[in-house]
Amino acid sequence: MTTRGKIALFIGGTLFGSVGIKLLSSRDAKKAYTHVTAAALRCKDEVMRNVEVMQENCSDILADAKEINAKREAAAEAEVIDDAAEEEVIGGAEA
């Protein structure tokens, strides 16, 4: 690329940047940014509500799972005790 081409690109980029800054800082652009930011905040709030509901559901599931395991463990212990008691009765009858 020639020196003139490089200078032309530099000047074009500078002008484009200057116009871009003016466009981005215009009243209409600020209004658009405000609306986009408000929409993003609403979206964030909705996502946070969904996360909260999911956390509550997971807590409920965990509590239910722990309860199921506690009942199974109690039933297994009762079965071991019943088996031991039967062995004592059978063992005592043979003697």
> Mind listing the pLDDT tens digit for each residue in 53-66?
999 999 999 999 99
How far is it, in rounded angstroms, from Cα 89 to Cα 82? 11
Which pTM was predicted?
Answer: 0.49
- Residue type for position 84: A
- What pLDDT is attached to residue 91? 61
Given a contact cutoff of 8 angstroms between Cβ atoms, the answer to whether 61 and 55 are in contact is no
Give the residue extent of every domain in the chain: 3-94
